[in-house]
Amino acid sequence: MEVFREFKDYNGTEPLALSLGMFDGVHKGHQSILQEINRIADQKGLKSSILTFWPHPRLVFNPDAGLKLLNTLDEKTELLGKFGIQLLFLKNFDEEFRNMYGADFIKEILAGKLHVRYLIIGHDHVFGKNRSGNFKLLQEMGPEYGFEAEQMEVVNLHNNNISSTKIRNALSEGRIEDANEMLGYHYPVSGTVIHGAKIGRTLGFPTANILTDPQKLLPKKGAYIVDVVLGSQKYQGMLSVGTNPTVDGTSLSVEVHILDFDKDIYGQPITVQFRKFLHDEIKFQNLGKLIERLEEDRTLTRRFFVAN
């Protein structure tokens, strides 16, 4: 997949099948759009492409709202590539772009710069200043600028529509299985292994502390069963999101104990993939009670992987 961070870097003249949107999470609803883009591209001899924005427009319009995202930019790029998209345009959502009306965006960018011949948008997608761009406008302008437009139906799961907001809510409530089902994959959190207080090692449960992207959504505080990806290897792990209240911790941390593992991985990239919520964060009366619970969690983690 070719990635273009600015339109000025793209000088292609080949006609495109394109979809635009945030694609935060690249969930099953998004995946249906990607499949349709690829199908249309193959059918009509076009290049499959996606136009997405960074940062998220909601972070620009309301920076104090504290929105957390399902994907970092690298994660979203990797996911879109896995679904066979040929071209990815990452448009900086700056002041100039946010003030562009929908009709000008269609004329100057979609038709003029990107040579779009088939455009697919989600069921509720709007774009341009004052939300002036929508499916109706695309239908009206399509004949003049030589493109067809299609609006995808909402994707439902158990009679509920899938959305990035619903996935965020599920993760924030610890409903990992629900979130993973809507995503179509196990929710990942990536980062770099950093030095921590090393308390876990003294308890017989050494942990890798993970420095994560501050805009990445972390599931609710508590203990989890996770897959741990280091390079090309995958391991089993139990993870804590929290402040370590038993030892009077105050700052939020992400720590993973990797089962049957004893290697120095400081400074290395690491990804954890959430599989199951074990329990809420607990402040134990003493370290002995904490160790007992860690041993119980480890037993549950081993049983989970035997069954799954």
pLDDT at 243: 86
Tell whether the model's pLDDT for residue 5 goes beyond 80: yes
Same domain, residue pair 203 and 258: yes
Same domain, residue pair 20 and 134: yes
Same domain, residue pair 120 and 36: yes
Higher pLDDT, 59 or 217: 217
The pLDDT of 261-275, averaged and rounded, is 94
Residue type (1 letter), 249 = G
Tell whether the model's pLDDT for residue 66 goes beyond 90: no
CATH of residue 204: 2.40.30.30
Q: What is the pLDDT of residues 100-127, one digit of tens each?
A: 899 999 999 999 999 999 999 988 888 8
The region of weakest confidence among 54-68, 104-118, 130-144 is 54-68
Tell whether the model's pLDDT for residue 238 goes beyond 90: yes
The length of the chain, given as a count of residues: 308
Same domain, residue pair 149 and 272: no
CB 278 within 8 A of CB 224: yes
pLDDT at 286: 86
Tell whether the model's pLDDT for residue 145 goes beyond 80: yes
The pLDDT of 205-216, averaged and rounded, is 92
Last residue of a domain, one of 110, 127, 161: 161
Report residue 64's pLDDT band, with 50, 70 and 90 as the boundaries.
low
Same domain, residue pair 142 and 12: yes
CATH of residue 66: 3.40.50.620
- Strand pairing class (87-92; 2-4): parallel
Q: Is residue 47 part of a domain?
A: yes
pLDDT at 104: 93
pLDDT at 250: 67
Query: Which residue range is the domain that position 128 belongs to?
Result: 2-161
- Angle between the N-to-C axes of helices 164-172 and 176-183, in degrees from 0 to 180, rounded to the nearest 10: 160
**Highest averaged pLDDT of the listed ranges 84-88, 242-246, 261-265:** 84-88
Q: What is the pLDDT of residues 19-56, one digit of tens each?
A: 998 999 999 999 999 999 999 999 999 999 999 988 77
Q: Nearest-CA neighbor of 149 among 104, 112, 102, 116? A: 116
Same domain, residue pair 12 and 145: yes
Same domain, residue pair 47 and 153: yes
CB 157 within 8 A of CB 185: no
The pLDDT of 76-92, averaged and rounded, is 92
**Total count of domains within the chain:** 2
Same domain, residue pair 34 and 132: yes
Tell me phi and psi for residue 133, to 5 degrees. Answer: -105, 130
Q: Is residue 57 part of a domain?
A: yes
Q: Is residue 180 part of a domain?
A: no
Q: Is residue 170 part of a domain?
A: no
Q: Is residue 37 part of a domain?
A: yes
pLDDT at 273: 98
pLDDT at 248: 67
Q: Is residue 171 part of a domain?
A: no
Same domain, residue pair 12 and 128: yes
pLDDT at 166: 95
Indicate yes or no: pTM above 0.95.
Answer: no
The pLDDT of 261-286, averaged and rounded, is 93
Q: Is residue 179 part of a domain?
A: no
Report residue 92's pLDDT band, with 50, 70 and 90 as the boundaries.
confident
pLDDT at 218: 96
Query: Average model confidence (pLDDT) for the chain?
Result: 91
Task: Return the C-alpha torsion angle 129, 154, 115, 95, nearest 10.
Answer: 20
Last residue of a domain, one of 120, 143, 161: 161
The separation between CA 209 and the C-alpha centre of its own chain, rounded to angstroms, equals 21
Tell whether the model's pLDDT for residue 143 goes beyond 90: yes
Q: Nearest-CA neighbor of 212 among 228, 230, 194, 232? A: 194
Same domain, residue pair 152 and 208: no
Same domain, residue pair 90 and 209: no
Q: Is residue 174 part of a domain?
A: no
Report residue 299's pLDDT band, with 50, 70 and 90 as the boundaries.
very high
Same domain, residue pair 100 and 229: no
